[in-house]
Structure 1
Amino acid sequence: MKAFRHIPFQSHPNSNGFSVCLFLLCALFTGCQSTSTVLSDKAEQPAITQKEAGEQVIEALNRAYGVDTIGLFLDSPRCPDFVEGMFYEDSLPVFQIRGDTAKARRILEASAGSGAFRREADTEHTFTQKELRSILDTISNRFHKLPDGALKSNMDFWGMDNHTALVFFKLNTPAARQAFREHIIDSPAVSFEGPESPMPHSETGVPDTLGISLRPEYPVYSTQTSKASFVLINQSNSNIMCGEEYCITYEDEQGIWRKLPTDHFFFSVGYLVQPGEYRIRTASLYPEVHPNKPGRYRFLYHLTLLDTRTRIQMMTEFRLSNDEKEWKQTKKLKIPIHLTITQNSDNSATSETSADEETSGQ
């Protein structure tokens, strides 16, 4: 959101003394009369910047066409029909115009009291914000009608820039793009974003520090499991704060650690875990998006010690297995009985693995 500001009146620092001296010199050498010269200590209004001029245009158009202070007067029924959108370029508003751009400029200048804006003509080769909003509405409506599956899980979010509708995938593969075009919309206005393959990610953390530990709820999960749960245990003397964000990495066949295509965007929420408490964080593995192979995986999770404001990255390892006997016999983490679970814990991942709910020692 843009904050609009006005330039205060500023007087010239030497407006009185300097002007009087100049007048006396003029009278001495040119014989001019004092009655014929008008002195003024009014300062000239300083020139405003291009950014401020553009902001003043938006303020004026808000007053003329709507009540919104961030440019959404475009959605007002009083906004001229020829305005198809707006964006900023070099601090100036650019209005996307359908039809006669010269006439449009005259109308907008009259309403804004300024010409500090630019025009962009609507052509068959460009897409306006109005057209893009319609495309985004179509994407949203068709997304919600999709059955659960690879395409729906792979779509992280969508939005738009000046001329393009942007769709962000967890894994931006040719198959994902083709599925989108077949089931959502096939439009040249849509651009796809996201990694085309899992990116190397060698970052690590610690499983234990200062009485704080991070463990998988089960050491082994099926390669087909959609979720896995992890337990953050606080046996320190400090309150700790953790959030929603996590990262999962896996070791590929060449021994390179890569980031698993999973959630990229998280709500900015803080969860308090006091001494003597533990919190469960459940993560999504999306096997329908990426074929998760048997092997080593890491769960990375940040926390902050509130008394010292120290930020620590925790890490714990777990495995995925396609051996049904192995993951069915794996045993759940045993939580010390004196610890209590936080009220803000996630639900544990449903243990399709657990034929035996008996817990084992840590």
Structure 2
Amino acid sequence: MENNYLSLVCIGCVWLVASCNVSTSRKQTDLVPKDSVGQLSGREMPVQEVPMLLLNKLGELYGDNLPGVAGFSVESKNCPDFIGGIYINDRDTLVIQIKGDSATVRQRLEKELQSKEFIVEPCQTYTQKDLFAINDKLVERWRALENTSVMRNVTGAGVGTHDIEIHLIVNTPEKRREFREQVMDSPAFRFTGVETPVENMTVGVNDTLGVAIRPEYTVYSTESDSVKFILYNRSGKIIHCGERHFITYEDAGGVWRELPINGNFVDIGYWVADDDYREFTAFLYPKIHSNPPGRYRFFYEVTVGDHREGARLKMMAEFRLSDNKKELEQATKTPLPVF
């Protein structure tokens, strides 16, 4: 099941999300009365509607929303001290993290909400309130260091139910230690991302149906920050495309692996008219991970003609990275495709 998001904060280009991604445990389930009956309405409601109605009710009781705005957040100034967090679990049940005597608090909430359709979760190591406080400090550090190498390895951070997830482009022990030492350290941090580049044997085409893709140069330095590509359209139709792409490289054993990059893309739609072209740039992140000399492949999906029913093509442009100074000096631009 997809996560249920209860709070969303944008910091620059990074989304810090309070997400509900923890499954219900048997202990939590046992806290729900077996004879619980929804009292919010006389009709039978879809299970997803019940927790949202309860959230709206909590907002009425303890929220500080503007008129016409429904819902509830633990960041509300009127949120009582005994509520430490709140989320919807993967069984579509509202879970309320409680500080203090959970039985007493449950009785109070049942009376105020006029419902038993929720779970009380005794506070564990961190409540969401605790995590938001830690996250505020992290945001300060993030802004102060956003242009540094250590932060270029970070693609996002999310405030969850019991921890703060930090996603790294390269998630090795060394990179995690670098973050903790140079940015911030906390037992609440949980790091995600790729530690070893995954195998990816995908292949595509570089010239078909009047559509061609080429790198600007066939060879780039292993220290290059980026590579420019050119998409040519001689198909007789409009081409639809976006920003999403990925890159693979051939390792020393001849296995193609996916190059770690920032996989967060803004879904902007572009179109390329017939007898026209589009240039775009892909970043290689040499300051985050070393890129070995050898063969690389860039993949980019396009749709020819109608964006819903047209031919979908997986375009592939191959290029090389080199640390040979002489070879780099002799590099020439890629020839234009012949249609």
Residue 256 (structure 1) shift: 0.3
TM-score, with normalisation over the residues of structure 1? 0.75
Q: Is the 8 A contact 2:172 2:195 kept in 1?
A: yes
1:80 is matched by which residue type in structure 2? Answer: P
Using the alignment, how far apart are the partners of 1:203 and 1:326 within structure 2? 28
Using the alignment, how far apart are the partners of 1:78 and 1:110 within structure 2? 19
Q: Is the 8 A contact 2:56 2:72 kept in 1?
A: no
Change (3 A) 1:49 1:332: closer
Q: Is the 8 A contact 1:95 1:120 kept in 2?
A: yes
Change (3 A) 1:197 1:149: farther
**Which has more strand, going by share of residues?**
2
Partner of 1:38: none
Correspondence 1:298 to 2:301: no
1:178 is matched by which residue type in structure 2? Answer: R
Change (3 A) 1:77 1:144: closer
Q: Is the 8 A contact 2:301 2:313 kept in 1?
A: yes
Partner of 1:86: 86
1:84 is matched by which residue type in structure 2? Answer: G
Partner of 1:54: 51
Partner of 1:197: 196
Q: CA RMSD in A?
A: 2.4
Structure 2 residue matching 1:55: 3-state secondary structure: helix
Using the alignment, how far apart are the partners of 1:136 and 1:328 within structure 2? 48
Q: Give aligned-pair identity as a percent.
A: 40
1:97 is matched by which residue type in structure 2? Answer: I
Structure scoring higher RCO (CA < 8 A, sep ≥ 6) equals 2
Using the alignment, how far apart are the partners of 2:268 and 2:86 within structure 1? 33
Q: Is the 8 A contact 1:219 1:331 kept in 2?
A: yes
Q: Is the 8 A contact 1:230 1:281 kept in 2?
A: yes
Q: Is the 8 A contact 2:74 2:129 kept in 1?
A: no
Partner of 1:75: 75
Structure 1 residue matching 2:248: 3-state secondary structure: strand
Partner of 2:320: 319
Residue 309 (structure 1) shift: 2.1
Q: Is the 8 A contact 1:155 1:168 kept in 2?
A: yes
Residue 110 (structure 1) shift: 3.2
Residue 46 (structure 1) shift: 5.1
Cα deviations across residues 284-318 of structure 1 (Å, max 9, x unaligned)? 10112221111000000000113342211000100
Q: Is the 8 A contact 2:237 2:304 kept in 1?
A: yes
Using the alignment, how far apart are the partners of 1:289 and 1:95 within structure 2? 40
Residue 215 (structure 1) shift: 0.1
Change (3 A) 1:201 1:70: farther
Structure 2 unaligned spans of 5+:
6-40
Residue 272 (structure 1) shift: 0.7
Change (3 A) 1:50 1:275: closer
Using the alignment, how far apart are the partners of 1:149 and 1:75 within structure 2? 30
Q: Larger deviation: 130-139 or 226-235? A: 130-139
1:301 is matched by which residue type in structure 2? Answer: Y
1:212 is matched by which residue type in structure 2? Answer: V
Cα deviations across residues 4-30 of structure 1 (Å, max 9, x unaligned)? xxxxxxxxxxxxxxxxxxxxxxxxxxx
Structure 1 residue matching 2:292: 3-state secondary structure: coil
Change (3 A) 1:179 1:216: same
Q: Is the 8 A contact 2:219 2:328 kept in 1?
A: yes
Residue 127 (structure 1) shift: 1.2
Structure 1 unaligned spans of 5+:
3-43, 337-360
TM-score, with normalisation over the residues of structure 2? 0.80
**Which has more helix, going by share of residues?**
1
Partner of 1:15: none
Residue 184 (structure 1) shift: 2.0
Structure 2 residue matching 1:72: 3-state secondary structure: coil
Partner of 1:277: 276
Aligned runs of 1:89-100 on 2, under 5 Å?
89=89, 90-100=91-101
Using the alignment, how far apart are the partners of 1:70 and 1:299 within structure 2? 45
Aligned runs of 1:1-362 on 2, under 5 Å?
45=42, 47-48=44-45, 50-66=47-63, 67=65, 71-89=71-89, 90-123=91-124, 126-146=125-145, 148-307=147-306, 308-333=309-334
Using the alignment, how far apart are the partners of 2:320 and 2:279 within structure 1? 18
